[in-house]
Chains A and B, each alone.
Chain A
Amino acid sequence: MLSSFSDKAIMTKAMSMYGKRITEEQYLELLHKKSVAEIAAYLRDETGYAAALSGIQPTAIHRGQVELLLRKERFSRYLRLIHYDNNQKDSYYRYLVMEVEIEQILQMVQLLNSGRAGEYIVQYPGFLGHITSFDLMALARVRSFDDLIAVLADTVYGRLLLNCRPRAGQPISYTRCEVILGAYFYKHIEDVIDQNFRGKIRLHLHEIFQTHLELLNIGTIYRIKKYFPQTPREKVVKCIYPMWKRIPEEELNRMLDAVTAEEFLDAVAASPYSRYVGSDDFTFIEYHTDCINYHMSRRFLRFATDAPTAFTAYMSLSRIELSNLTTIIEGVRYGVAPSEIKKMLIL
């Protein structure tokens, strides 16, 4: 009974939060702002980010600080949602924390490879400190792969990353880390869904995550075919998530055997994934994949009758909103024409 009440609360809250989203008209107004200060002022005065940005001085605030506050607001919305969850420890809803943790680890790997590990202290979201399974401040002090393993020693990530130890003098393989951690994430989330849910909820959640996974894999293969067409097949296989269940082997082989990006798109267009091939070119593969995720999430949220589906769809939509706002902030900051920024927005 208690769990049923908490479910209803989460679902209702997610839907009401979505009601405060940035509308298309608001995006259009934001696009035509002349500076980051004007964007910050608009977000503070006219949108659902009013509370998060209250007290800022738009004319003095740094772009990075605005983005950080927006990310913090997304996370605080997440915390407000899971506040109603009674089984907080092994809860399904914790998947978002895991997603954020993996994102932080991968960011550190990237900084280590480029010799800029010291910059992590400025970038890392301090507001996450109390919820992550490892110490973010300790992560900020990491200067080598061994340091990284030591910080993550008590977590599952530490054990997973042991397989990614680089040879002396070599950089850490970012792709390998990404695939290993991502594969663990998707496997874990699938297990949690199977353990906790039945019927339509299970079906919907699997569809959401399987679609995410498919889009990531299709995007990865496309990028390899487009920019590194000489990559051998077995290397491509290593770059994609292995638990791609919905695709028949024959289709997968056809995609992997494509020599060029164009051939790959032909293979996708001839497969059940033809709806993933947009009408424009695939210059920004992430744009297309995000568009598909956006429309799927909107549909799931609109017709959700259960909390997990509504929650997952809402968090996905809030991530896309955050990415749209970041695109606008960066576009305006670097003087990109509004019509060009608009092309990159997911609406």
Chain B
Amino acid sequence: MSIEKMTLVQITGHVDVLDKVLRRCSDIGQFHPEQPAQLTDKAGGFTQMMEENPYKARLNRIVDIGVNAGITLKYDAADVRKVASDGIDDFLDSFHKELLELSDRKRELTKAIEEGQTAEVQLRHLDSLDVSLDELFACEFLKIRFGRLPVDSYGKLAYYKDRLFFFVSLSEGSTYHWGMYITTVDHVAEVDDIFSSLYFERIRIPEAHGTPGIAKQMFKDELVKNKAELEEVNNRLAELIRANEEKFQDIYSGVRFRSESFDLRRYVSVYKGQFHLTGFLPTRDEEAFRKSIESIDRAHVEFKPQDSDKRLVTPTKLNNCKLFQPFEMFVDMYGTPSYNEIDPTPFVGITYTLLYGIMFGDLGQGLVIALLGALLWKFKKMNLGRIMTRIGISAACFGLVYGSVFGMEHLLDPLYTDLLGLPGKPVEVMDPLTINNLLIFAIGLGVVLIIASMTINIVIGLKNRDFEKAIFSNNGLAGMVFYVAVLLGVLSMLSGGQSLFTPLYILAFIVLPILVIFLKHPLGKLTRGNRHIKPEGGIGSFILEGFFELFEVVLSFVTNTMSFLRVGGFIISHAGMMAVVLTLTEMMTGSGSIVVMILGNAFVMALEGFIVGIQGLRLEFYELFSRYFEGQGKPFRPVVIQ
């Protein structure tokens, strides 16, 4: 349950065995290579291997054909050697040829249909023109062009006011002006050029135009004919794809495997016939890796500590037990932890499951969510499904504590009274006294989680010898002393005992930590041995900015703590919503009540299940992560063909 320990690996060998070594690295699936560009600059003579991939062109062609045919390409390692490379090009040529013929025809027909439809619309816009088109086109010295002009371009016509044309707008939409421009025969070339540069779209009126009405009918007839042909072409295309898809997928897997194996060469540098490959490997795989690579003749592996080359950033591989593994998704959403950070996944797993269970406590609904999650994982391989299983079980456990099954609050009473010998269920959510206690419990839980987050921050800071972060910051020791001192002081006042807020207490545990937080940057610099602690922007600006930041820090302690009130709020709102569902159920009779009960439960599960999930995540990200987690690491990406 941590960040996997890494080792820096250097593989050397004769270039003749390079392909073998690269395939072996890919098969092992645990080798994270580093770009040689970062290494070759310092070592004279080494050159990066930049050979052109001979399989790339063919792979691109396959992808291109696949996309054109609408085939979703799937790589399957089992199909890699199914098709011999000799016949591939012939098959691709013939499939592509037929596909192209049909696709081109489809494109032509689509274009014709679109033009016909647009022309029809354009002619509708010209309806206000009370002149025969024949008469207009019969003009001897004038040229008239019909079409539409973008609204933006219409505004630019003023720029050309000294040119010999005028534009008549017959109708206006949000994006276009529909109309015509008129110019003289002598100037038509120049004016056509101007309008073309302004994105004027011309409408070609058919020869036998007559009035706009006759022209419209001609477009309609053509449209019907084209649509019928398009349908036939679509059917032929579907048949062609169905007949060739299987072989096409096999070819894709084979070519992709060869191409990606070759691509790994970009990680290699070469010197006098020897290749050199550097990367990272989980420490525990060292021996297996060495055995596998050194079994290849003239290949040698050398292991070094992960931090022995300062130019490289060690990648982070999270290593969690199956229980917490799904929660890595939440951590990844925020950022990858650095190699020297602490993996927050177990903390997220525990706290998120706990928070969700507390907020959504219902035995029946919890089990339904867990079942739904299991199905999602089994059939759709959705990681969220695994998280749902865990939080569903947690919700079911807390449902047992609240005595709630699908919103029925007294169904489990015999279990508590008869079997366990309790006076009633452990927590009666809707009892007024319990409501107060729940809210206090929620804040208490928040305090514990915030202190835990600060503790993690202190540990990370000390581990990395970053004293500014560990001791002086608002999430470090100073912040924790201040937070705990204020809480204890308030508690002493509320409990009616003697108040802890004595002058000495205030000075030592509240004012002093605040002062330390205020001076965290200069103090941090001092611990790093930097004596230039004078603020860059001057003392005045430092004090002013520090004051506002301090104000925000103090305020955020209060708001972050109060934020956990929502945990209590959701317990109550869940019980409240289910009470409404039960009331509606009781109002119905017969099968109606069962339908309302099922629909009501489904509604509450969908609505509240989501809200509680999102709120839980919000608490994790904003109230907890922001205190200790930076997420600036580099993820571990082993070479593997997927």
A residues in contact (CB < 8 Å) with B: 28-29, 32, 34, 37-38, 54-62, 64-65, 68-69, 72, 121-122, 125-127, 129, 137, 140-141, 198-200, 262, 265-266, 269, 274, 277, 279-281, 299, 302-303, 305, 337-339
Contacts and interface: CB of A to CB of B under 8 A. Distances in A.
B38 interface: yes
Given A266-B41, A279-B37, A199 B552 contact: yes
Contacts of B294: none
Given A32-B67, A122-B198, A55 B176 contact: yes
Interface string B388-408: 000000000000000000000
B434 to A, nearest CB: 33
Interface string B295-328: 0000000000000000100000000000000000
A59 B60 contact: no
Interface string B102-123: 0000010011001100100000
Most buried by B among A29, A55, A129: A55
Contacts of A60: 115, 118, 201
Contacts of B334: 303
B267 to A, nearest CB: 9
A37 B108 CA distance: 12
Contacts of B153: 126
Given A55-B176, A126-B153, A65 B548 contact: no
Interface stretch (B154-162, B216-224, B499-507): B154-162
Contacts of B55: none
B92 interface: no
Contacts of A56: 175
A305 B622 contact: yes
Interface string B48-82: 00000000100010011001100000000000000
B98 interface: no
Given A54-B175, A122-B198, A72 B152 contact: yes
A328 to B, nearest CB: 13
Given A129-B155, A198-B545, 13 more contacts: A55-B173, A57-B114, A60-B115, A61-B201, A64-B199, A69-B175, A126-B152, A137-B158, A200-B552, A269-B38, A303-B334, A305-B622, A337-B64
A343 to B, nearest CB: 12
A337 B65 CA distance: 12
Contacts of B152: 68, 72, 125-127
Given A57-B115, A57-B201, A339-B56, A299 B335 contact: yes
B41 A126 contact: no
B114 A199 contact: no
B231 interface: no
A111 to B, nearest CB: 14
A61 B44 CA distance: 55
Nearest to B155: A126
11 contacts: A28-B67, A55-B175, A60-B118, A121-B156, A126-B156, A140-B156, A140-B159, A277-B38, A337-B60, A338-B63, A339-B63
B94 interface: no
Nearest to B60: A339
Interface in B12-45: 35, 37-38, 41
Nearest to A201: B552
A199 B549 CA distance: 5
A261 to B, nearest CB: 12
Contacts of A265: 41
Contact of A37 (B38, B67, B111, B311): B111
B110 to A, nearest CB: 8
B150 interface: yes
B621 interface: yes
A199 B156 CA distance: 46
Contact of A122 (B35, B115, B197, B333): B197
A14 B64 CA distance: 35
Nearest to A340: B60
Nearest to B621: A303
B37 A281 contact: yes
Contacts of B38: 269, 277, 279
B286 to A, nearest CB: 25
A62 B150 CA distance: 11
A121 B548 contact: no
Nearest to A121: B159
Contacts of A55: 173-176
Contacts of A280: 35, 37
B533 to A, nearest CB: 16
Nearest to B199: A65
B621 to A, nearest CB: 7
Most buried by A among B63, B152, B197, B334: B152
A65 B41 CA distance: 46
A34 B175 CA distance: 26
A296 to B, nearest CB: 12
A64 B67 CA distance: 26
Interface in B403-431: none
Interface in B541-584: 545, 548-549, 552
Contact of A59 (B67, B111, B549): B111
Interface in B140-182: 150-153, 155-156, 158-159, 173-176
B60 A32 contact: no
Given A59-B115, A60-B118, A269-B38, A32 B175 contact: no
B68 A32 contact: yes
Nearest to A31: B67
Contacts of A338: 60, 63-64, 67
A65 B622 contact: no
Contacts of A126: 151-153, 155-156
The list of the 10 closest CB pairs from A to B, nearest first, reads A126-B152, A32-B67, A279-B35, A65-B199, A57-B118, A199-B552, A59-B111, A198-B548, A122-B197, A339-B60
B109 to A, nearest CB: 11
Contacts of B115: 57, 59-60
B67 A29 contact: yes
B86 to A, nearest CB: 25
B548 A199 contact: yes
Most buried by A among B159, B334, B548: B159
A200 B548 CA distance: 10
A265 to B, nearest CB: 8
Contacts of B549: 198-199
A304 to B, nearest CB: 11
A56 to B, nearest CB: 8
A59 B116 CA distance: 11
Contacts of B41: 262, 265-266, 269
A127 B174 CA distance: 12
B507 to A, nearest CB: 26
Contacts of B156: 121-122, 126, 137, 140
Contacts of B56: 339
A19 to B, nearest CB: 15
Contacts of A54: 175
Contacts of A61: 199, 201
Contact of B552 (A58, A198, A303): A198
Contacts of B118: 57, 60
Given A199-B549, A200-B552, A58 B114 contact: yes
Contacts of B176: 55
Contacts of A281: 37
Given A32-B68, A338-B60, A137 B114 contact: no
Contacts of A58: 114
Contacts of B64: 32, 337-338
A274 B35 CA distance: 14
Nearest to A64: B199
Contacts of B35: 279-280
A72 B153 CA distance: 13
